[in-house]
Structure 1
Amino acid sequence: MIHTLSAASAAGSEIFAAIALLIISLVVLLILRHYLPLRTTPSYLLVPVFFALWLPAFIVLLVPIDLASSAATDDDAARGIWFPERLLLVSWRITYWLTFVLTWFILPILAEYSDAGYREPKDRILYSLRQNAQYQAILLGSGIIGLLYFFISYGIHYESFKGLVMALAYCWGLVLAIYLMGHGLVAIPREIFRKASIPGRLKRLQAHAPGLHEKMEDALLTLEDLEMQVSELSRRKTGSARDFQDWIEELADMCNMPESRPTAAVPRSDVDSRVLPTVITEKYLADLTRRLIQSRHARSRYVEEWHRLLQDAAKAQAVLDSAASKKLDFGRPSPDASTLGSITLLTPYTRYLLHFHVLPSFRIFLGGFFALASACIIWSEMVKVALPKLSVIRLSVVHHWTGDKGQVGLAGQVIAALWILYMCAAALTSVTEVKVWRGRALVRRNTGHESAFWYASQVARLSVPLSYNFMTFLSPSIYTKTIFYRFLGKLIDLTPLGKWFDNLFPILVLIPVCATLFGLYGKVRRMLGFDLELVDDEEENETGYGTGSWREGRVLIERELNGTSISRRRADPIFRASGARATPILPVPASRSESGARTPFATSPGYHDNPTRGGEQSLRPGPAADPEDDNFFTSFGHRFKNTIDGIDTPKWIQEIGDGFKKPKWMGGNEESQASGSGAAGSNIDIRRWFGGDGSIRL
C-alpha cells in the first residue's frame, strides 16, 4: 500500500520527474532529427512518432517510481522518487491508453496513408482504411475465442470486455517481445566481442560487401526501370493518359531523369513501351507512385549502407596499418560527419594507442559485462516462478528487507531503470537486425515515412509487455501492491489461463537465445533452401559461398576506395551512352607482399591483371588461397594434384605409337608419320570416320 504522505513532500519528486521528461523530449527530438529531416517532414508524421517514442521512455521512468511509491523505505534519506497514488493512477491511464491507441489504430492508419500512392487525401485515407480493415478483421476473428472464454469465466459486462482487450494486446506484445529480446540478449554482447578483433571485423566487412553491393545494384536497376516507365508514360500524350497529365508530370519531376539519368535521352525500343498498359487508370498510377517512392528509399538505404561499410573498412584497415608506424591518421573528416566527429583532439600516436589497444580491450570488457547481464535476465526468467528468491534482478533491485516485506530505494530505482533499458534495447536492436520486415529500414536523414511509422509502432508495442514482465521478476509482495499491477496485472491474472501464460511463456526465451547462440537460423535456411535473411549468420558462412567470398569483397572495397569501381564508370555519361556492358567482378586470390604478409587492400601491380604482349590476359595461376579457408582434405587434394602435374612424362611413353602407321582411310600419310610423335595422335577425331568435317550440327 502506498504510504500516505503530504502533498508537499512529493514536490521534489515531481520536479525531478518534470526535468527528466524535458530531457527525454530533447533526446527524442535528436533521434527524430537523426533519421528524418525535421523541416521537410510533415507534422502528421512527426507528432505521432514523437509520442510513440516519448511514451515508452516515460514508462521506463514510471515503473521505478511506481515501485518506490508502493514499497517505500522507512529511511527518508534512502527514499527514492515517488508519486501520490492518484497521480500514479492518472499517469498510467494516460500512458497506457495513448500507447494502445497509437499502436493499434493511429500509426497503422497513417503508415498505410503515407504508402498509398494516391494524390488526393480522400483516396489515400480510403486506401488506408481498407488495408487496416482487413488486418483488424483478422485480429477480431482470432479474438472471438478469447472473448467467449472471458465471458464464460468472468461474466458479460464492460470490465470483462476491457480485460479481454488489454490481456490480448499484452499477450501478443509479450510473444513478440520475448522472441526479439531473446535474440538481442545474445546479439548485443556477441557484436561487441566481434568488434574487439580488428582483423576479424575487417574480414566480416569484406564478406558482407559482395551481397550488399549486389543489393545496391539491384536497387539502382529497379529504380532505373521504374523511371524509364515514367519516361515512357510522359511521352504518351493521347488516350487515357491525358486525364492524368498533372500526375504524370509530378512523377517525371520526381524522377528528374534529364539531369540524373543520361540514358533517358537514348531512344528505347518498342519492347520497352509494352510495359505500360493500354489504358492508364488511377490504380495503376497509384501503384507506380508507391513503387517509385519505395525504390527511391531502397536506393538511399543501400547506398548509405555501402558508404558506411566503405568508411568502416577503410578505418579498420588504417588501424591495422598503424601497427608498424605507431601512428594513426584517418585523414580529413567526411563532410557528412557530425560536429563532434569533425573535432580533432588526439595526436596520431595517442589515436593509435586508443584504437589499437584501448578500444579493443574496452570492448572485450563491455561485451563480458553485457553477456553477464543477459545471463542474469535469462536466469531470472527461468526461476521467477519456481525459485523466486534466486532471481538476480530481484536481489539487485530490492535492497531493504524487513522480514518478508521488501523496500525499494533510490539505488534500486536506478538499477531497475537500467534493467528495463537493457531489455528494451535488446528487443529493439533485434527489430533492426531481423530482416523480414518487407524491406523497411532506418536510414540516416532519409527514412521512409512508412518505415518511420512502423518502427515507432514496434517501440510502443514492446514497451508495456517488457515493463510488466520486468516487474514479475520481483517478489509478489512488492509488485502486487503497485498501481501498474492493479491497472493491468489483475486483468492478466483474471483467469487461470492468463496467469499461467504470463508465468510460463517467458521461459521460451531459451528458443531464440539458443537459435542465435548456435546459429540455427543459418542452418535451417540452408537446409530448407529458403532465401530469407533472418539474422546475420556470417560466422556460419565466412567464405560467403553463394554471395561472393570475402576476397571478392576486398576487391570491391579496394576498387571503390581507389575510384576505379565499375559503378563509378557506369555513372559516366559517355560510358553509359556508348552502351558498353560492365564485366563481372571476379574474386581475386589474396596477394602477399615481399615479406609474406597478406595485404587486404593490395594495390601492387601484381594484384591486378597482368597484360601480355598479345593484348591477352596472362593465364599464370595466382597465389594460392589462404590455408585458413581450406580444410585438410581440400589442402591434401591441391598438393597431390600439384605433385602429379609437376612430374615429367617419361620418354618411353612419349615414343609409344612411333612404330605404328595410320591408314590412309584414317587420313594419315608418310610425312606426318615420319615427323609425328606421340602428340600426333591427338589429331585423331572419331567423328571423321562417319563422314563430315568432324563438327557437330544441331
Structure 2
Amino acid sequence: MALYIPLLAVIITNFFLTFYLLNRYSNFGRQNLLITISVFISWFFSFNVVFILPLDITSVCNFICNQNHLQPMYLRNNITNNGTDYIGNNQTTTPTISNISLPLSLDHHNFTQIGHNLTASNNSSQIKSNNESQSQQKPTFICAKPWSYVPKNVLQNLWKFIYWSSQLLTWIILPIFQSYSMSGEFTVWKKIESSLKENLKYYCLFGFLFLIFLFYYATKQRLTMESLKIFCISASNTFGLFLLLILLSYGLVDIPRHFLKNYQCNHQYKLNYLYFRIGKINEEKYEANCQLEDLLDELRSYYVKISKENGSRYLMNKLQIIIDKCPESFRNELNESSIDLDLNFELNEKRLVSLNSKINKALQTSHRTEVQYRMLIKQAIHLEEIIKELNDDENSS
C-alpha cells in the first residue's frame, strides 16, 4: 500500500485543484450538471498527465538502473584479449603449447595427443571457472527506490485509462455538450438532436479525410488490428499537434516576450500596453452590448405581440424561458416599455429557437468582454499606483 501513496497524493491534490479552478472560473449553480462534470473530468485528466509524468520518469529510471546492475556480470565484462579471459574480477590465463616444456623423446603422435588433452583440460577448466563465477556472483549494488516510485503495471493501466478517456471526451462528449449548451431548443431531447446535427458535418469531414489516409496507409502496409490502432493514435496526435500549432503560433512568440518584458520591470511600457488592450476590449464590449440590445428589442416585440394578440400559452412558456436568462434590468423594463414596435411578422417556435440561440451567444460574449474589461482596468489602476509611488520616491530623494 505504501507504494501507491505518491500516486494517491498526486491524484487527490489534482482533484481539489481542479475543483478549485473550476469553481473559480465558473459558477456551479448556473451551469448544467452534466456539462460541469464533463469539463471537470477533462481538466482533471489534463492535470494528471502533467503531475503523474514525473512519477513515471523516476520509476522508469529506477527500473533501468536495476536492470543494468542485476544482469549476470559475465555478460557485461567477458572480454578475450591475447589468450587472457576476464570473468568478473577473476583473471585466468589460457595455457599455450609454447609455454610447456616437452620431452624430446615424444614423437609426433604423442605430441598431438598431449595437445588434444591440454586443450580439453583447458576447456573444462574454463567452463568450471565460468560456472563457479556465475554461482558465486551476486549483485553488489541495488538501486534504491525513490520516494515517488510507482509500480510499472499500475502506471501502464493508468496511462491507458487516461488516454482513451481523453480521446472519448475530445472527439465525442465535449463537442456534443458544447453544442448542447449553446443550442436554442427548449427540451433536452431537442437540444441533443440539434447538437448531433451540428457536429455531424464535422464528423463527416473528419471521417472522409480519415478514410483517404487509411486507404493510403493500407497500400503501404498490411492492415491488422494492432496497426489500425497505431494508425488511429497517430492520426489523432497529428491532428492535435497541428491544431496546437495553429492556435499557439502567435502565443509561442508572444508569451516569452511578455514575460521577458515583465522581467525587465518596465512599468510604463506595461501600462501603455494595458491602455491599448483596454481600448480594444472596450470596443468589443460595445459591439457585443449593441448586438445584445438588438436581440432584446426583438425579444420585446415577440413578448408584446403574444401579449396583445393573446397568443398560445405554449409559445408564451417558451418565450418566458428566454426572458428569464436576460439581464434583470431588461426584465424590469419589459412591461413598462412604450417604444413603438413593428409587430407585422409571423411568430412561431422556429423563430423562438433561433432567437434563443442568438441570445445565448450574445450573453456569453457580453459577459466575457465585461469580465476582461474589469480585469484590465484593475491591472491598469495597480500599475498607475506603482508608477506614482516610484515617481514620488525619486522626487523626494
User: What TM-score do you get using the length of structure 1 for normalisation?
Assistant: 0.42
Q: Is the 8 A contact 2:55 2:150 kept in 1?
A: yes
2:208 matched to 1:141? yes
CA spacing shift, 1:51–1:136, aligned 2, 3 Å: same
* Aligned position for 1:190: 257
Q: 2:287 aligns with which of 218, 221, 235?
A: 218
1:244 and 2:311 aligned:
no
What secondary structure is seen at the aligned counterpart in 1 of 2:325?
helix
Match of 2:273 among 186, 201, 204: 204
**Counterpart among 48, 64, 73 of residue 38 in structure 2:** 48
Cα displacement (A) at 1:53:
0.9
Aligned-pair distance for 1:24? 0.7
Tell me by how many angstroms 1:266 deviates: 4.5
**What is the match of residue 253 of structure 1?**
324
Matched, 1:288 2:278: no
| Structure with max Cα Rg | 2
- Equivalence map 1:244-323=2 (5 Å): 244-255=315-326, 265-270=336-341, 272-273=342-343, 278-323=345-390
| Cross-structure match for 1:234 | 303
Q: 2 CA distance for matches of 1:46 and 1:298?
A: 19
Amino acid in the other structure paired with 1:131: E
User: What's the counterpart of residue 169 of structure 1?
Assistant: 236
In the alignment, which residue of structure 2 is the partner of 1:84?
A: 151
Q: Which amino acid aligns with 2:219?
A: I
Which residue does 1:405 correspond to in 2? none
In the other structure, the counterpart of 2:103 is none
User: Comparing 19-28 with 147-156, which one deviates more in the overlay?
Assistant: 147-156
* Alignment root-mean-square deviation, CA: 2.7
Deviation per residue, 1:28-78 (Å, 9 max, x gap): 111101111123322201211111011122222333333333332356347
* Structure 2 match to 1:29: 19
Task: Identify the residue that residue 199 of structure 2 maps to in structure 1.
Answer: 132
Partner of 2:29: 39
CA distance in 1: counterparts of 2:331 and 2:190, whole angstroms:
31
Map 1:195-594 to 2 at 5 A. 195=262, 196-237=265-306, 238=309, 243-255=314-326, 265-270=336-341, 272-273=342-343, 278-326=345-393
Q: Deviations over 1:319-362 (max 9, x none)?
A: 111124449xxxxxxxxxxxxxxxxxxxxxxxxxxxxxxxxxxx
Runs of 5+ consecutive residues of structure 2 not aligned to the other structure? 67-141
Q: Distance in 2 between matches of 1:210 and 1:71?
A: 52
**How much does 1:242 deviate?**
5.2
Q: For the Cα contact (< 8 Å) 1:109–1:129, is it kept in 2?
A: yes
Q: CA deviation at 1:95?
A: 0.9
**2:235, 2:13 → 1: CA distance?**
33
Q: Is the CA contact (8 Å cut-off) linking 2:300 and 2:334 kept in structure 1? A: no
d(CA) in 2 for partners of 1:236 and 1:253? Answer: 18
How does 1:568-647 map onto structure 2 within 5 Å? none
CA displacement 1:156-176 (0-9 Å, x = unmatched): 332233222211101101212
Equivalent-residue separation in structure 2 for 1:282 and 1:266 (angstroms): 24
Q: Which AA in structure 2 matches 1:40?
A: R
The 8 Å contact of residues 45 and 162 in structure 2, kept in 1 or not, is answered as: yes
Report which of the two has the higher share of helix.
Answer: 2
1:59 corresponding residue in structure 2: 49
Give me the whole-angstrom Cα distance separating, in 2, the residues matched to 1:101 and 1:170.
14
- CA displacement at 1:258 relative to structure 2: 5.9
CA distance in 2, matches of 1:241, 1:217: 36
SS of the equivalent of 2:45 reads helix
Quick check: 1:69–1:83 contact (8 Å CA) kept in 2? Answer: yes
1:93 maps to what in 2? 160
- In structure 2, relative to structure 1, the CA distance for the partners of 1:324 and 1:92 (3 Å cut) is closer
Q: Are the equivalent residues in 1 in contact too, given 2:6–2:147 (CA < 8 A)?
A: no
Q: Structure 1 residues 22, 60: closer, same or farther in 2, change over 3 A?
A: same
Residue of structure 1 aligned with 2:7, choices 11, 17, 21 = 17
Per-residue deviation, 1:249: 2.1
Q: Is the 8 A contact 2:183 2:194 kept in 1?
A: yes
5+ unaligned residues in a row in structure 1: which ranges?
Answer: 1-10, 328-698
Could you say if the C-alpha distance between residues 48 and 21 of structure 1 is closer, same or farther in structure 2, counting changes exceeding 3 Å?
same
TM superposition shift of 1:154: 3.3
**TM-score normalised by structure 2 residue count:** 0.72
Q: Deviations over 1:628-683 (max 9, x none)?
A: xxxxxxxxxxxxxxxxxxxxxxxxxxxxxxxxxxxxxxxxxxxxxxxxxxxxxxxx
Which structure has more relative contact order (CA 8 Å, sep 6+)? It is 1
Deviations 1:264-298 (A, max 9, x none): 7443335x546xxx332322211111111221121
CA change 1:157–1:317 in 2 (3 A) is same
* 1:491 aligned residue: none
Partner of 1:455: none
Instruction: Go from structure 1 to structure 2 and tell me whether the alpha carbon gap of 1:243 and 1:47 turns closer, same or farther (over 3 Å shift).
Output: closer
Q: Tell me the number of residue pairs that the alignment of Structure 1 and Structure 2 aligns.
A: 314
The residue number in structure 2 matching 1:112 is 179
Give the corresponding residue for 2:127: none
* Pair 1:146–1:239, CA change in 2 (3 A): farther
3-state secondary structure, aligned to 1:65: helix
Query: How far, CA to CA, are the matches of 1:324 and 1:178 in structure 2?
Result: 43
Matched to 1:123, the amino acid is K
Contact (CA 8 Å) 1:118, 1:286: kept in 2 or not?
Answer: yes
Instruction: State the partner residue of 1:671.
Output: none
> Structure 1 residue 190: deviation in Å?
1.4
Q: Following TM superposition, by how much is the alpha carbon of 1:261 offset from its aligned partner in structure 2, in angstroms? A: 6.8
| In structure 1, C-alpha distance between the alignment counterparts of 2:270 and 2:53, rounded to whole Å | 38
